[in-house]
Amino acid sequence: MPPSLRFALTPGEPAGIGPDLCLLLARERQAHPLICIASTALMKERSVQLGLSINLIRTDPGDWPAQPAPAGSLYVWDTPLARPVKTGQLDQANAAYVLQTLTRAGQGCLDGNFAGLITAPVHKGIINEAGIAFSGHTEFLAELTQTEQVVMMLATRGLRVALVTTHLPLKDVASAITSERLERVTRILHTDLRDKFAIAAPRILVCGLNPHAGEGGHLGREEIDIIEPALQRLRDEGMNLIGPLPADTLFTPKHLEHCDAVLAMYHDQGLPVLKYKGFGAAVNVTLGLPIIRTSVDHGTALDLAGTGRIDCGSLQVALETAYEMAQSSLTPKSARP
């Protein structure tokens, strides 16, 4: 990957651990230029709180750096706060600031200024309390990029799990799993594994919805009536799809050994396994966007902000994943294994 490719980094909720994570990572030189879109005043203050000596290097559109910042330095595109931050205390006044950092980062990706976007956690509740309708990074970026359908995928070393449905009450999951939705999500997963992860022929394991994948219809007919017919139509298009398989046995070495991704039907079917395997070293990837976006797998941890008692593992994996995805996007399909 050419060293001139830049990446955007947003610290998320200013009262949480996002700014801390960015500063702690700045102790080491990154592989590529990384632009932190944040309040310079906030980053200075938090650096003092953490007892870090980080050189904040101002950068602006038209003056982007071509080389990574030296160890102990961080490029910052200054984005002013509405009100000074009290570490660990949410403030509605700064909700618009959080969204401005995301807008700058996302639009910068669309404009070709950044090869990808890495996000630290936001606090959805305080943004909504400020009177701004906001359901999360994924939906915000989908609207910004005018993307109709996106897919949530979490990944850690050795396992990727994508979701057909995300944040729904369990009672609503079955009705949300339609043939149309399943086919759309699977196509996005297959396409991005190929185009953004350089996997020429992705092998995807698909969970059933019901216990024992419905056990021949005795424990539910969704597998027979919806899931299997949809998967067969996609197989006819050339996709390598295995399933529907019982979720309680799918997540075993026998099945996962040669798998590129697992497609789970709902949030708590697939993510507990992934987080058990790699919590603190996992990454949230938004598939289906015209840009690359990765994120940490944890929340704002307001009680830990400013203490230094945090682990940068998830943000480091998010950075590395974004770098790899950008590299894969540049790799000609003919050169892929």
Residue ranges for the binding site for substrate?
A: 137-138, 275, 284, 293
Instruction: Give the annotated binding-site residues for a divalent metal cation.
Output: 167, 212, 267
89: helix, strand or coil = coil
DSSP lists the bridge partners of residue 154 as 161, 284
Using a 10 angstrom Cβ sphere, with 0-12 exposed, 13-18 middle and 19 or more buried, the burial of residue 93 is middle
Contact 119, 111 (CB under 8 A): no
**Distance (Å, rounded) from C-alpha 135 to C-alpha 255?**
34
Residue 258 CB contacts under 8 Å (≥ 6 apart), including other chains: 203
DSSP lists the bridge partners of residue 76 as 36, 58
| Pairing outcome for strands 240-245 and 34-38 | unpaired
309: helix, strand or coil = coil
Report phi then psi at 89, rounded to 5: -115, 115
Q: Which amino acid, one-letter code, is at 93?
A: A
Q: How far is CA 265 from CA 144, 148, 164, in A?
A: 26, 20, 5
Contact 172, 179 (CB under 8 A): no
Contact 8, 292 (CB under 8 A): no
Instruction: Give the annotated binding-site residues.
Output: 137-138, 167, 212, 267, 275, 284, 293
**Distance (Å, rounded) from C-alpha 20 to C-alpha 24?**
6
**Distance (Å, rounded) from C-alpha 23 to C-alpha 74?**
7
